[in-house]
């Protein structure tokens, strides 16, 4: 086939495709997208780079190389190929916009920008014989439209601040959690900020849904009410490969704890004003929100290909990543009577990853402290009631990243505390001793205004792993009913259960479990 024949076929395709493109753009709001249309729309982001690159090269050619033109037939063929690519990509973009997943105003400008790029690309074929100045004019016009259209596309994908100068880390997502804040502020807003607002905030509003404040969340989106229609819980629990799963595949995913926080909050009525201190201390939602950590001011790239930490866990110690995608690790030891130094020593394999360590109540000696000193990236260390002496803890000052240390339950005097703090870089220290009360330590506290020195017994934070409850039964042998008794040996343990096979939680405890405590199960 000759180049002339190819050129004629391209001309015919462009005369069919470009008028069709204009009609498609004008009547796009009336088109109901079927599965085929949705599938074709997915080719837009795959192919859009070709006409963008071609377009820039053509603009440069029109502006700077008209005195060294390539052969006219080759010139026309290249312009025809570029025009065809621009038209096809613009058509795919319109089909993609029919899925209503993007902010309407941005879609409008990006759509018509793409159409104008396609029409100008087509027009270039018939400008080959214009004078150089007119070509330069159309080259500049085309470049402006191309940049404007692609910028709107970038805003659709990456938010309206896609090219904004980055803000300093100190100004981002400063969310404070305490018992007087609402559940929304403490647990819900941080999750939405990290996992959802990039697509559902002021900068970008997919599906007409904004999740950056209670008022907008309550309005819902194009698919309906998030809570009454059950949309939120449905989309976060869909399989990852499902097209409606949120967050979309490739984005930072919700952890199990985050899903449970959202589930418990939604099932409780999604009350934006309900405060943490209105929940009981052993409420499931209270416990989850209080232990929840998310990537505040996360600077490093998240890593989802991290090694499993199971080998470092035991019945009396837990080793976990701080949050999904974080390379930083926290360690908790519990039940000091079962403390085994071997569990501490084997953590040397991951010593550079451990940033938080809780050794409260462990019968530590100098050998244990020597092992702890190897963990150079420690930021937070709990040594409450560990039988160590204050004089031996001075070596901890050499841990340059250690900011928070708790030594409640370790006997000390005001002079010993002064010596311990002298030359340290701690930002927070928790102390309590029978030998020195807060009044006796006032001079030391005043001497170190840059250190938050908290005096008080915070030993109630002791962590224990409880065993399963025991199940007893009455002495009935032949009976039409059987009474089952649940009990636990630890004082204060509250046992909750369901009779329908579902997983017990704080909400069902209110609605179902407490009603079932005295229920006799029929056999």
Is 250's pLDDT higher than 90?
Answer: no
Note the pLDDT of residue 518.
Answer: 34
Task: Out of 434, 461, 488, pick the residue that ends a domain.
Answer: 461
Q: Choose the weakest-confidence range: 6-15, 126-135, 165-174.
A: 165-174
Q: Are residues 65 and 138 in the same domain?
A: yes
Q: Are residues 453 and 518 in the same domain?
A: no
Examine residue 300 and state whether it is found in any structural domain, yes or no: no
How many CA atoms lie within 13 Å of 181's alpha carbon, on the beta-carbon side?
15
The residue-averaged pLDDT of 225-234 equals 86
Q: What is the pLDDT of residues 63-100, one digit of tens each?
A: 888 888 888 888 888 888 888 888 888 888 888 777 65
Examine residue 298 and state whether it is found in any structural domain, yes or no: no
Examine residue 199 and state whether it is found in any structural domain, yes or no: yes
How confident is residue 375, by pLDDT bands cut at 50, 70 and 90?
very high
For 509, the domain range is 470-522
Is 493's pLDDT higher than 80?
Answer: no
The domain tally of the chain equals 4
The residue-averaged pLDDT of 138-153 equals 85
Task: Out of 411, 443, 461, pick the residue that ends a domain.
Answer: 461
Is 447's pLDDT higher than 90?
Answer: yes
How confident is residue 483, by pLDDT bands cut at 50, 70 and 90?
low
Which of 131-135, 277-281, 496-500 ranks highest by mean pLDDT?
A: 131-135
Q: What is the pLDDT of residues 309-329, one digit of tens each?
A: 889 998 888 898 876 667 889
How confident is residue 356, by pLDDT bands cut at 50, 70 and 90?
very high
Is 134's pLDDT higher than 60?
Answer: yes
Q: Are residues 281 and 418 in the same domain?
A: no
Note the pLDDT of residue 110.
Answer: 81
Rg of the chain over all Cα atoms, to the nearest angstrom: 32
More confident residue, 229 or 405: 405
> If you search the block for the tokens 């039940």, which residue do you land on?
335
The residue-averaged pLDDT of 175-197 equals 74
Q: Are strands 481-482 and 470-473 parallel, antiparallel or unpaired?
A: unpaired
Note the pLDDT of residue 230.
Answer: 84
Examine residue 316 and state whether it is found in any structural domain, yes or no: yes
Note the pLDDT of residue 8.
Answer: 81
Beta bridge pairs of residue 405:
381, 429
Which of 47-56, 280-289, 300-309 ranks highest by mean pLDDT?
A: 47-56
Is 160's pLDDT higher than 60?
Answer: no
CATH number of the domain where residue 437 is located? 3.80.10.10
Note the pLDDT of residue 381.
Answer: 95
Task: Out of 412, 437, 461, pick the residue that ends a domain.
Answer: 461
Note the pLDDT of residue 399.
Answer: 94
Examine residue 247 and state whether it is found in any structural domain, yes or no: yes
Q: Are residues 66 and 186 in the same domain?
A: no
Residue 95: exposed, middle, or buried by beta-carbon count in 10 A (0-12, 13-18, 19+)? buried
Is 56's pLDDT higher than 60?
Answer: yes
Average pLDDT, the chain: 78
Q: What is the pLDDT of residues 331-354, one digit of tens each?
A: 999 888 889 999 999 999 999 999
Examine residue 258 and state whether it is found in any structural domain, yes or no: yes
| Category of 309 on φ-ψ map: left (φ > 0), alpha (ψ -120 to 50) or beta | alpha
Q: Are residues 397 and 503 in the same domain?
A: no
Q: Are residues 16 and 140 in the same domain?
A: yes
Q: Are residues 22 and 40 in the same domain?
A: yes
Residues 6+ apart with CB under 8 A from 196: 211, 246, 247
Q: Are residues 194 and 61 in the same domain?
A: no
Residues 6+ apart with CB under 8 A from 394: 419, 420
The residue-averaged pLDDT of 242-256 equals 82
Do residues 354 and 378 lie in contact, with contact meaning Cβ atoms separated by under 8 Å? Answer: yes
Note the pLDDT of residue 45.
Answer: 73
Is 159's pLDDT higher than 50?
Answer: yes
Q: Are residues 282 and 412 in the same domain?
A: no
* Gap between the Cα atoms of 279 and 275, Å rounded: 7
Q: What is the pLDDT of residues 231-244, one digit of tens each?
A: 899 999 888 888 88
Q: Are residues 515 and 402 in the same domain?
A: no
Q: Token pair for residue 242?
A: 């499902």
Is 123's pLDDT higher than 50?
Answer: yes
More confident residue, 374 or 138: 374
Is 520's pLDDT higher than 50?
Answer: no
Is 510's pLDDT higher than 50?
Answer: no
Smallest Cα–Cα separation from 54: which of 141, 107, 121? 121
Note the pLDDT of residue 435.
Answer: 86
Note the pLDDT of residue 308.
Answer: 86
Do residues 251 and 195 lie in contact, with contact meaning Cβ atoms separated by under 8 Å? Answer: yes
Examine residue 167 and state whether it is found in any structural domain, yes or no: no
pTM of the full predicted structure?
0.42
The residue-averaged pLDDT of 391-395 equals 94
DSSP state of 433: B
Note the pLDDT of residue 97.
Answer: 74
Is 270's pLDDT higher than 70?
Answer: yes
How confident is residue 364, by pLDDT bands cut at 50, 70 and 90?
very high
Examine residue 304 and state whether it is found in any structural domain, yes or no: no
Cis peptide before 463 (omega within 30 of 0): no
Is 162's pLDDT higher than 60?
Answer: no
Is 494's pLDDT higher than 90?
Answer: no
Residues 6+ apart with CB under 8 A from 56: 143, 146
Percent of the chain whose pLDDT exceeds 90: 20
More confident residue, 152 or 90: 90
Q: Are residues 414 and 484 in the same domain?
A: no
299 phi/psi in degrees, rounded to 5: -100, -40
More confident residue, 288 or 266: 266
Helix (H) or strand (E) holding 76: helix 72-97
Is 422's pLDDT higher than 90?
Answer: yes
Q: Are residues 326 and 367 in the same domain?
A: yes
């Amino acid at each position: 086939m000759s180049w002339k024949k190819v050129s004629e076929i391209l001309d015919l395709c462009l005369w069919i495709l470009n008028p069709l493109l204009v009609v498609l753009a004008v009547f796009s709001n009336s088109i109901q997208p079927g599965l085929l249309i949705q599938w074709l729309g997915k080719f837009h982001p795959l192919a859009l780079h070709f006409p963008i690159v071609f377009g820039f090269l053509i603009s440069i050619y029109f502006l700077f190389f008209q005195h060294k033109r390539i052969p006219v037939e080759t010139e026309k063929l290249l312009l025809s190929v570029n025009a065809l690519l621009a038209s096809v990509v613009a058509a795919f973009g319109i089909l993609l916009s029919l899925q209503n997943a993007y902010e309407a105003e941005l879609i409008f400008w990006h759509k018509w920008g793409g159409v104008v790029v396609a029409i100008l690309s087509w027009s270039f074929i018939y400008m080959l014989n214009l004078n150089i100045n007119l070509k330069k004019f159309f080259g500049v016009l085309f470049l402006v439209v191309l940049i404007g259209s692609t910028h709107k596309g970038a805003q659709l994908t990456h938010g309206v601040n896609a090219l904004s100068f980055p803000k300093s880390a100190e100004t981002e997502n400063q969310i404070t959690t305490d018992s007087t804040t609402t559940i929304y502020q403490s647990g819900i807003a941080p999750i939405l900020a990290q996992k959802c607002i990039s697509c559902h905030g002021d900068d970008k509003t997919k599906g007409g849904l904004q999740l950056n404040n209670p008022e907008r969340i309550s309005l819902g989106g194009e698919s309906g009410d998030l809570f009454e229609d059950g949309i939120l819980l449905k989309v976060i629990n869909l399989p990852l490969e499902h097209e409606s799963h949120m967050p979309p595949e490739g984005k930072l995913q919700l952890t199990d704890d985050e899903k449970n926080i959202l589930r418990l909050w939604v099932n409780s009525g999604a009350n934006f004003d309900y405060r943490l201190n209105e929940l009981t201390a052993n409420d499931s939602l209270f416990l989850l929100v209080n232990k929840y950590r998310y990537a505040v001011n996360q600077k490093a790239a998240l890593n989802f290909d991290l090694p499993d930490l199971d080998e470092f866990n035991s019945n009396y110690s837990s080793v976990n990543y701080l949050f999904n995608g974080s390379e930083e690790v926290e360690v908790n030891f519990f039940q000091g009577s079962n403390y085994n130094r071997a569990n501490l020593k084997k953590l040397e394999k991951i010593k550079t990853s451990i940033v938080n360590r809780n050794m409260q109540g462990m019968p530590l000696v100098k050998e244990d402290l020597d092992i702890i000193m190897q963990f150079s990236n420690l930021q937070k260390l709990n040594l409450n009631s560990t039988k160590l002496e204050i004089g031996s803890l001075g070596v901890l000052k050499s841990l340059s990243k250690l900011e928070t240390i708790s030594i409640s339950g370790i006997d000390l005097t005001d002079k010993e505390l002064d010596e311990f703090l002298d030359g340290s870089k701690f930002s927070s220290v928790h102390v309590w001793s029978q030998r020195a009360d807060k009044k006796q330590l006032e001079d030391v506290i005043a001497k170190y205004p840059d250190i938050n020195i908290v005096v008080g017994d915070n030993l109630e934070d002791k962590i224990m792993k409880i065993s399963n409850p025991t199940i007893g039964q009455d002495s009935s042998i032949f009976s039409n009913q059987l009474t089952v008794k649940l009990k636990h040996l630890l004082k204060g343990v509250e046992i909750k259960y369901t009779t329908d096979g579902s997983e017990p939680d704080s909400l069902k405890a209110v609605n179902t479990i407490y009603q079932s405590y005295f229920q006799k199960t029929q056999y």
